[in-house]
Amino acid sequence: MTRRTREYFRITKHTRRYNRKTNTFTINIAYQTATQKTPRTLQVAEAFGLGTDQQQKFTIYDNLKLKITPTDIIHITGDSGSGKSILLKTLKKDLKHLAADTADLTTEQNKPIINTVGKTFPQALELLSKVGLNDAFLFTRKYNQLSDGQKIRYQIAKLIETDKQWWIIDEFCSLLDRDTAKIVAYNTQKQARQKHKALITATTHTDLQDDLKPTIHIHKRYGKEITIHRHPNTATHQCTLTRQMHVEEGNINDYKQLAPFHYRTSHLPPPRKIFTLKRKNELCGVIVYSHPPPTTHGRNKATKTTFQQIKNQLSTISRVIIHPKYRTIGLGAKIVQETLKKAPTPYVETLAVMAKYNPFFEKAGMQKITESKPTKNTTATLEQLKQLGFNQAMIGSENYNQQKIEKTDKQKLIQTLKELSKKESALRKRLLCLPDVYPKHEEFTAKIERLNDRELAKTIKRLAIIAQTKVYLFWPPQTNPNHNKTEQ
């Protein structure tokens, strides 16, 4: 009897049926409550004339029938306490092993995130790039060092990795500022549609429909009132924030403002023209067109011409930086596409590491010509560094390089870099950030002799960047890559 008087909440009906052949869910959920007897609740009952044994019955879902296919985008909205999460959990129970829920994902808190997704390094880079964590600095951060928005992006990468047909996210973007929420919503539906998965989200917010583009929008009110709107399964090709962006000419100060968000913070090649991507007065992206180096791997496959013609008619895209907040909504492709025709020369090239994992240059209209590996001379230099005690996997760190320099024969190290300059004229400027656009070997030799240990450590770091595998792209696209377009 005591147990009955203390009972104040009881589910009276909770039935569900899932017909996989027709993709139909049938849901009935109701509960009743009674007042728990305490001195103060008895006072409330007396003051307002309530019966202490009176029970209230509530129906949340009354024979609700939902037809949902395994490729639908379902968005559940409603006030807190209206029953959104109950519906989500009910669908999850019926789907069983077919569904992956972000609430159930295990995260390795104290490992760099690059180590916690994908079976291989390329798979990890691809997964993280797809969700907007495509930043060299972010790759090495731990999960517990990420912001709320970055954690949600990471969780989506883990959803993709599960290969489950149904993705479930409760409290979708509820903790994020609304701009970031729209970006995450846009990217999540894009990944789900590209992979032909079903996505089920629930949130109190009602501002994500345009970016999520749900095929089924369920709005739950208190009681059993519910509205369901169905829409064609057509992807949204542009985030709502992208529509607010415009390109305009910029300057070196714009580049410096976003430079900390680029993994290459070393000296910028001499710029020819700089463009910015802005949302009203907010700087969201920057692109730098620079003078071309004397030689670049892959250029001879795109054009056969003289060096003088190259200087006059060809520019190199040396930097594309999108503010981390606005990544994964197509802004990289947008700023490239909208500036190619405004470039200072009729022909444009670029050599990029990230193009291996995020083909935004190709989406913008540039043609992939080839992938560049380190030259034989660069590979030989790396081998000589190894013999001097350097680990190639670590030379991207200035601190590591400086520690090694203090323990090695500095003159042998300098002589090794001099030999590389003598054989590879195209690398001189990049290695030492020399002021001349096309420096001579004597200039390289004179400067490297004056470097202190920290400056020499930076030079070796630049060599590590040079040694990376990169993609060479050219614009305008050519049907015959070996055709001499610049001579026309």
Q: What's the pLDDT tens digit per position in 251-281?
A: 999 999 999 888 766 578 889 999 999 999 9
**Residues 228 and 252 occupy one common structural domain:** no
Judgement on whether residues 223 and 259 belong to the same structural domain of the protein: no
Give the per-residue pLDDT at 1: 42
pLDDT at residue 400 is higher than 90:
no
Asked, as a colleague might, if the bond just before 476 is cis with ω within 30 of 0, I would say: yes
Residue 334 per-residue DSSP state? H
β-strands 55-67, 24-34: how paired? Answer: antiparallel
* Position 235 confidence tier, pLDDT thresholds 50, 70, 90: confident
- Does residue 475 have a pLDDT over 60? yes
What's the mean pLDDT when you consider all of the chain? Answer: 88
Q: What is the CATH number of the domain that holds 263?
A: 3.40.630.30
pLDDT at residue number 53: 65
Amino acid (one-letter) located at 103: A
Sheet holding 226-230, edge to edge: 99-101, 166-169, 198-203, 73-78, 216-220, 226-230
417 pLDDT above the threshold of 70: yes
Instruction: Give residue-wise pLDDT tens across range 18-75.
Output: 888 899 999 988 877 766 778 887 787 778 776 666 667 778 888 899 999 999 999 9
Whether pLDDT at 451 is above 70: yes
- The pLDDT value given to residue 396: 80
Query: Around Cβ 219, how many Cβ atoms within 10 Å?
Result: 17
Q: Are residues 56 and 74 in the same domain?
A: no
Final residue of a structural domain among 187, 205, 240: 240
Categorize the per-residue pLDDT at 372 as very low, low, confident or very high, splitting at 50, 70 and 90: confident
Q: Does the pLDDT at position 430 exceed 70?
A: yes
- Assign residue 173 a region (left: φ > 0; alpha: ψ between -120 and 50; beta: otherwise): left
Checking if the pLDDT of 362 tops 80, the result is yes
Q: Please give the structure tokens belonging to residue 379.
A: 């590979």
Residue 231 confidence class, pLDDT cut points 50, 70, 90: very high
Higher pLDDT, 40 or 367: 367
Per-residue exposure over 63-97, b if at least 16 CB sit within 10 Å of its own CB, e if not = ebebebeebbbbbbbbeeebbbbbbbebbbebbee
Same domain as 418, residue 275: no
Considering the domain architecture, whether residues 306 and 434 belong to the same structural domain is answered as: no
**Residue 485 pLDDT grade (very low, low, confident, very high; cuts 50, 70, 90):** very low
Instruction: Tell me which residue range forms the domain holding 448.
Output: 376-466
pLDDT number for residue 483: 43
Same domain, 261 and 210: no
CB neighbours of 93 closer than 8 A, spacing ≥ 6? Answer: 16
What number of CA atoms fall less than 13 Å from residue 440's CA on the CB side? 3
> In 10 A of CB 23, how many CB atoms?
14
Claim to verify: residue 343 and residue 396 sit in the same structural domain: no
Average pLDDT on 105-130 reads 90
In this predicted structure, what is the pLDDT of residue 10?
Answer: 59
Q: Could you give the 3-state DSSP secondary structure of residue 222? A: coil
pLDDT of residue 484: 44
Question: Where is mean pLDDT largest: 35-49, 112-126, 325-339?
Answer: 325-339
Which pLDDT does position 7 carry in this prediction? 46
One domain, residues 72 and 220: yes
Number of domains making up the chain:
4
At 236, list the tokens: 């949204």
Q: Quote the pLDDT of residue 198.
A: 97
User: Do 218 and 92 share a structural domain?
Assistant: yes
Answer whether residue 355 shows pLDDT above 90: no
Q: Is the pLDDT of residue 482 over 70?
A: no
Q: Looking at per-residue confidence, does 488 or 202 come out higher?
A: 202
Closest CA to 198 of 74, 47, 369: 74
Q: Rounded CA gap, 48 and 148, in Å? A: 45
Looking at the chain, the whole-number percentage of residues with pLDDT higher than 90 is 58
User: Are 228 and 366 within one domain?
Assistant: no
Tell me the mean pLDDT in the region 176-195: 94
Q: In the numeric block, which tokens belong to residue 363?
A: 């989406």
Domain boundary residue, one of 19, 39, 66: 66
Tokens matching residue 336: 């490239």
DSSP state of 142: B
Return the higher-pLDDT residue of 339 and 260.
339
**Which of 320, 326, 363, 264 lies closest to 132 in space, CA to CA?**
326
- On whether both 97 and 190 belong to a single domain, the answer is yes
Q: Do 95 and 155 fall within a single domain?
A: yes
Dihedral angle at the C-alpha atoms of 35, 41, 43, 45, nearest 10 degrees? -20
**How would residue 166 be classed by pLDDT, with cut points 50, 70 and 90?**
very high
State the pLDDT at residue 291.
93
Residue owning tokens 């892959």: 298
